[in-house]
Structure 1
Amino acid sequence: MDFHIDRRVILSEVSEYKNLYEWSLREIDGDGKQVGRDLIPWDWSVSFTARDLVLADTLTLSSATPVNSRDDGDPNTKREAKKRQSIRATLRPLDLEPYSQTGFSMFGTARALSKFELFIYELQEVDGEERCVAWGSVSYTSEIDFREDTTDDVLVFNLFVRPDRFARYAERIASTTVDEVVFRVQGVAGFYSDWSPSITADSIKVLTNSEEHKIQIPADSTVKPPRLGEVAEAELHFHRIIRLERTETKETDDDEEPVVEPPLEEPDTSWEREEPIPASSPVHEGPLKVMDERVVKLLSSLRFAAWGIAFLLLLLLFK
């Protein structure tokens, strides 16, 4: 396999700030010049969010029969079946803009590391200890069946949890009651960055546990640089998000006087009687009397016209 590493990585115990760090790792280019600043172990936290979740059921069948021998379905052949569930999540670094956006890359490379994964497994031992382990690989090219295949840089976190906890995670994923997953790690062996008083890093270099990921260490040095492995602290959050609608209120300037609507005028009811109208009283009295007289005259005229039209129709019929 051909690993894609472009720079040498050396360990240096020369430091201008012995009170801050006694040793560091340095990247050296082809001209023998240092690239970037001194890099020391990064002990603060880094958070990721999940892009997707996969709940996998795996069945493995195996037998004691050699591969090259024939197995004609002999029922006496001893076979073993193994079933296992796992959860896989594709991760991306949590965007903390405008405060910080952390970039990742492998030691000895200038490539941006963009492939992050989380695998969650159920502990096989009942009394097993829950833990998180980090693993990674530098990009390499290999030949398979006379064909070259390139694997990208990758960083993987393996989380081992109790059976009851795994069952709870699996149930939530199967029932699609998860809207967001956040994964936070702190004290990851193999994470390096330049010294800073801040608890966030602009960039993090990753040192894998592969023998191909080499460091030049002075012969008289006793320093053993940490590589990917056990994670000191890990947190996994499954969030269910419910959006609530809120009534928006119109904001006004403090100096602006509120607009006061004038009160509605009460209708003039002076014409109404204070006492209820007796049943024996005429229907139209007071101001409505003139209107009633005009209506009566109009109705009388219409009735007279109707009789006239009827008379003319009778004359026409008997002619």
Structure 2
Amino acid sequence: MEHHVDRRVVLSTESEYPSLYEWSISEVTPEGKSGETNQIPWEWTLWFEATELTLHDTLETEFGLFDRDKPDSFRPAHLRRSITAKLHPSRGRRASWEEARYSFFGTGRFISDFELRVAQLSAGEDVERCEVWGTASYTSEGANFLPERTGDYLSFNLFIKPENFARFATQISLSAVTSAAFSVGGVPGFYSAWSPTVLTSRIKILASLQDQRVELPAGSEIDPPRLGRAREFHFVLSCAHKLKAEAAEDEARSDEFADRPASQPVAAGAPDSSAIPKSQFAGTLNQLRIAAWLIVVLLLVNLVR
């Protein structure tokens, strides 16, 4: 398997600011130019948003290596549930700051394939955790012994309690989720240039000393952090609905004036007929009709005399 790493990755114990950091990792391009320099472990929070959320139900049997010699042996099937989400770097609550871009040491490529995987803790476990795994692009022997290239990939793997998993799974299955966000902090293997702030726009990733061909100083006892268990994480599923109180008020106002002809505006100081209850208006009209008939009858009586 060949990893596509085209830059030298060098760990240096020389520091311009020894009170801030004692060692760092730098890159050198094939042209001899400096790539990312003086990268040190990044401990602060980074944000992502989900662009796709999927609940998986998988029914499978576990077939052991030696079971192939026992055609009459069968193993029971087990139902396994998992959640996956496609992620995209985001600003989180830092709207004025640009989203971070990620790349593996030894490459100048930015990662575009981020995934969040959520599974239930195994029996006997009770500590929820986030394990981070990834790899720089590589070429391996694929189907029919043909070379197959895999792109740069970074995965966040959450292992949570069954009751928490059931809650998330229910929300997803009912299509009750309108947005999902994920943030993580203290990820071993994440590096960036030193900064006086807790924000960065560039993250370099160290997954393997061997695959990324990291050059260590002779006799150095420094073991640079690689991808592993994160110190903290936050996974948020939201169900948001726009409230219609204001829309209802607008509708009520429009209904109030719906029966008023546009060509007959109400004169200033005149009573507004739309404000008169319909029952009262109908009664007044009947009284006017009765009065008109009485006048007609009196006129006819006078003419007969």
Query: TM exceeds 0.5?
Result: yes
1:93 is matched with 89
**Counterpart Cα distance in 2 of 1:207 and 1:163:** 32
- Runs of 4+ aligned residues of structure 1 deviating over 3 Å after TM superposition are 62-70, 95-98, 245-248
Q: Is the 8 A contact 1:137 1:210 kept in 2?
A: no
1:264 is matched with 269
Determine helix, strand or coil for the equivalent of 2:177.
coil
Determine helix, strand or coil for the equivalent of 1:264.
coil
**Counterpart Cα distance in 1 of 2:204 and 2:245:** 44
Deviation per CA, 1:213-238: give whole Å up to 9, x if none.
Answer: 23111123222111100100011111
Q: Is the 8 A contact 1:100 1:200 kept in 2?
A: no
Relative distance call for 1:265 and 1:165 in structure 2 (3 A) is: closer
Q: How many Å apart are 1:67 and its aligned residue?
A: 6.4
Q: Is the 8 A contact 1:10 1:215 kept in 2?
A: yes
1:159 is matched with 158
**Counterpart Cα distance in 2 of 1:64 and 1:161:** 27
2:283 is matched with none
Q: Is the 8 A contact 1:106 1:205 kept in 2?
A: yes
**Counterpart Cα distance in 1 of 2:30 and 2:77:** 53
* Within-5 A mapping of 1:1-319: 1-63=1-63, 66=66, 69=69, 71=71, 74=72, 77-95=73-91, 97-144=95-142, 145-209=144-208, 211-245=210-244, 247=246, 263-264=268-269
**Counterpart Cα distance in 1 of 2:64 and 2:184:** 42
Deviation per CA, 1:68-89: give whole Å up to 9, x if none.
Answer: 6473xx4xx2424333111111
Q: Is the 8 A contact 2:15 2:22 kept in 1?
A: yes
AA of the residue aligned to 2:172: I
What RMSD in Å do the two structures reach over aligned CA positions? 3.2
Q: How many Å apart are 1:283 and its aligned residue?
A: 6.1
Determine helix, strand or coil for the equivalent of 1:173.
helix
AA of the residue aligned to 1:91: L
Aligned residues: 264
**Counterpart Cα distance in 2 of 1:65 and 1:223:** 40
Determine helix, strand or coil for the equivalent of 1:171.
helix
Q: Is the 8 A contact 1:184 1:236 kept in 2?
A: yes
**Counterpart Cα distance in 1 of 2:196 and 2:180:** 29
In structure 1, the gaps of 5 or more residues are: 249-261, 267-278, 285-291, 293-319
Q: Is the 8 A contact 2:115 2:156 kept in 1?
A: yes
**Counterpart Cα distance in 2 of 1:126 and 1:64:** 23
Q: How many Å apart are 1:263 and its aligned residue?
A: 4.8
TM-score (norm 2): 0.77
Q: Is the 8 A contact 1:118 1:156 kept in 2?
A: yes
Determine helix, strand or coil for the equivalent of 1:188.
coil
Highest CA radius of gyration, 1 or 2? 1
Moved more, 216-225 or 171-180: 216-225
**Counterpart Cα distance in 1 of 2:36 and 2:9:** 12
Deviation per CA, 1:107-149: give whole Å up to 9, x if none.
Answer: 1101110100011111112443111100001101122223221
**Counterpart Cα distance in 2 of 1:220 and 1:98:** 44
In structure 2, the gaps of 5 or more residues are: 248-266, 272-289, 300-305
Relative distance call for 1:241 and 1:128 in structure 2 (3 A) is: same
Q: How many Å apart are 1:246 and its aligned residue?
A: 6.5
Q: How many Å apart are 1:19 and its aligned residue?
A: 1.9
Q: How many Å apart are 1:34 and its aligned residue?
A: 2.1
More helix by share: 2
**Counterpart Cα distance in 1 of 2:200 and 2:64:** 52
